[in-house]
Amino acid sequence: MTESAKVDIQGLDLFYGRFQALKSVTMAVRERKITALIGPSGCGKSTLLRCLNRMNDLIAGAKVRGRVLLDGRDVYRPGADVDELRKRVGMVFQRPNPFPLSIFDNVVYGMRVAGTHNRGRLREAAESSLRGAWLWDQAKDRLDRSALALPLDQQQRLCIARLLAVEPEVILMDEPCSALDPIATGKIEELMLDLKERYTIAIVTHNMQQAARVSDFSGYMLLGEMVEYGSTGKLFTRPEKKLTEDYISGRFG
Amino acid sequence: MRVHPRYTQKAALALLGGATLLTVAVLVFIIFFVLEKGLPVLSLSFLFTNPQDMGRAGGILPTLIGTVALPVLALAIATPLGVGTAVYLTEYTRESGLTKVIRFGTDCLAGIPSIIFGLFGFIFFVTVLRLGWSILSGGLTLAFMVLPTIIRTSEEAIKAVPASYREVSFSLGATRWQTVRKVILPNALPGIVTGVMLGIGRSIGETAAVIFTAGSSLRMPHSVFDSVRTMSVHFYILAREGISNQNAYGTAAALIIAVLAVNLTAYWLMNRFIARRS
Ligand SMILES: Nc1ncnc2c1ncn2[C@@H]1O[C@H](COP(=O)(O)OP(=O)(O)O)[C@@H](O)[C@H]1O
Ligand SMILES: [Mg+2]
């Protein structure tokens, strides 16, 4: 394959205490493409995703072995700057989780944390991020109102806007639509296709139609192992492994 | 013999209702008893003039100052220490043997009778550190006394901040300290304020620990190194030594009103925080 790997995962093991949640996972997340992780619940999709920005560091007793290369450099190398990594690799969570602050303060949170306090620059960035998340028209007249007053799907897009404001390179999404209805889901999917023009995206989904609709590459996981990984078109029509075929055709999971 | 659930239900209701009624009745009785005897004495001039003849005549101005100064000093010391400890225990350490020991220690500290704190304060601050009977000795002693309350309430408040806020904050590149400052403390504030108010409530009426450390001078203090008498100590001395029952009740009424005011402010603050968040 000629496309470059933005994130290259090589032989990754992860242990929660004694329990091995990832078993020698190897996979690539390609630049400006959408890569989907599918598989039955509990197979390790979220765990794998959270290795890419080291969110698993927050879990007591989680240990990692193997390599995760971001632009060729191991994010788990000794002395790596984790806060810096998380600015480059941002995350959208399963449930919309805005802070109990105003819409504006939510969007610029990451910028303020990074040391930007110039009101004009914050305004500008807030507008372009909200536009980027297709929320500007709904939000522009109530930037100072509480983010919690927004409907759920707008809250989720606010979380995306909040992420865009720190100008990440990679966006990780862990079942970003599972709390949303089909119409809102459709909108987020369209947004993802728009975002991939500029960002590299990895998404976890339990919804295979969703993976088929939006992703360019897919990985099918089972019990902590990467069973099959390849282009979405091929994985969904001509899978190489019997296990994948069973899952795709709905005989399992 | 089986009693029909309808009757056990009625009995439970009666018992629980009775208990509540009794609590409220006792509270109301105490407040009315004190206010009834004290309010006739209470006036602006009683609050704001100096006492004469050991409190037999005149007002209670120095004790008013003592009653404000000691809790303010105590909380000014105990709040940063207590909140800092709570942040450290919840955010910077993982649950371990050490944190359990620290927590057990603070719980024990909370259960120590105040007179022991008074004795400790007398030996350590008044004598060893040579601070004498003073606002400073009293404030430091009260600070140690209310510290456990502040630590525990702050800890609970911090733990109640949704884990997702931390996750998001970290995922946006914030450091732990930035997360503490911008997300955790603001969201834990109502609980922390509650702890501080409880601390004020406890120290404002404290007598034993204060008598040993701040002394009981009726003169107007000029600095934190001067001895001072609080209203509760004043009440105790007036009543015990039979100096003036009337003025004792006047002082008690002022004290009760102060405590009520602190509690009402606490409720008001909490409601305001809660209203702002939802
Ligand atoms: N914090 C944790 N501690 C221990 N085990 C965990 C933890 N998080 C997840 N697991 C376990 O790891 C496995 C993979 O979980 P997860 O990555 O959440 O799966 P998925 O996202 O595919 O549903 C599951 O068996 C789960 O029980
Ligand atoms: Mg998951």
What are B16-37's pLDDT values in tens digits?
999 999 999 999 999 999 999 9
The response to whether residue A6 sits with its C-beta less than 6 Å from ligand 1 reads no
For chain A, the structural domain boundaries read 5-96+170-248
Going by pLDDT thresholds of 50, 70 and 90, the confidence category of residue B266 is: confident
Tally of domains in chain B: 1
Domain that holds residue B150: 44-277
**Cβ B78 vs Cβ B139: under 8 Å:** no
Architecture of domain A5-96+170-248: 3-Layer(aba) Sandwich (3.40)
Length of chain B as a residue count: 278
The answer to the question of residue B145 being in a domain is yes
What is the atom index within ligand 1 of the atom nearest the CA of A40?
22
**Cβ A49 vs Cβ A172: under 8 Å:** yes
CA-CA distances (angstroms) from residue B238 to B175, B208, B218, B257? Answer: 56, 15, 12, 19
What is the pLDDT averaged over residues B66-77? Answer: 96
What is the pLDDT averaged over residues A2-19? Answer: 89
Q: Is the pLDDT of residue A1 over 70?
A: no
The response to whether residue A106 sits with its C-beta less than 6 Å from ligand 1 reads no
What is the atom index within ligand 1 of the atom nearest the CA of A48?
17
The answer to the question of residue B26 being in a domain is no
**CB B45: neighbour CB atoms within 10 A?**
10
CA-based nearest distance A83→chain B, Å: 4
CA distance linking residue B53 with residue A63, whole number of Å: 74
Q: Tell me: the pLDDT tens digits for A37-67?
A: 999 999 999 999 999 999 999 898 999 999 9
The response to whether residue A239 sits with its C-beta less than 6 Å from ligand 1 reads no
Type of residue numbered A97: N
A47 alpha carbon, closest ligand: 1
Instruction: State whether residue B181 sits within 8 Å of chain A by CB.
Output: no
Contacts of B164 in chain A (CB under 8 A): 93, 95, 97
Option in B173, B183, B187 nearest A166 (CB): B173
The response to whether residue A226 sits with its C-beta less than 6 Å from ligand 1 reads no
Q: Which residues contact A74 (CB under 8 A, 6 or more apart)?
A: A67, A68, A80
A55 half-sphere exposure, CB direction, 13 A CA radius: 27
The answer to the question of residue B126 being in a domain is yes
The response to whether residue A46 sits with its C-beta less than 6 Å from ligand 1 reads yes
Interface ipTM: 0.90
Please calculate the CA angle A14-A19-A21 and round it to the nearest 5 degrees: 40
Q: Read off the CATH number of the domain in which B162 is found.
A: 1.10.3720.10
Q: Tell me: the pLDDT tens digits for B113-156?
A: 999 999 999 999 999 999 999 999 999 999 999 999 999 999 99
Instruction: State whether residue B223 sits within 8 Å of chain A by CB.
Output: no
Using CA positions, which residue lies closest to atom 5 of ligand 1? A16
Residue B176's closest chain A neighbor by CA? Answer: A83
The answer to the question of residue B188 being in a domain is yes
CA distance linking residue A60 with residue A83, whole number of Å: 18
Burial B207-237 (b: 16+ CB within 10 A, else e): bbbbbbbbbbebeebeebebbbbbbbbbbbb
**Cβ A136 vs Cβ A160: under 8 Å:** no
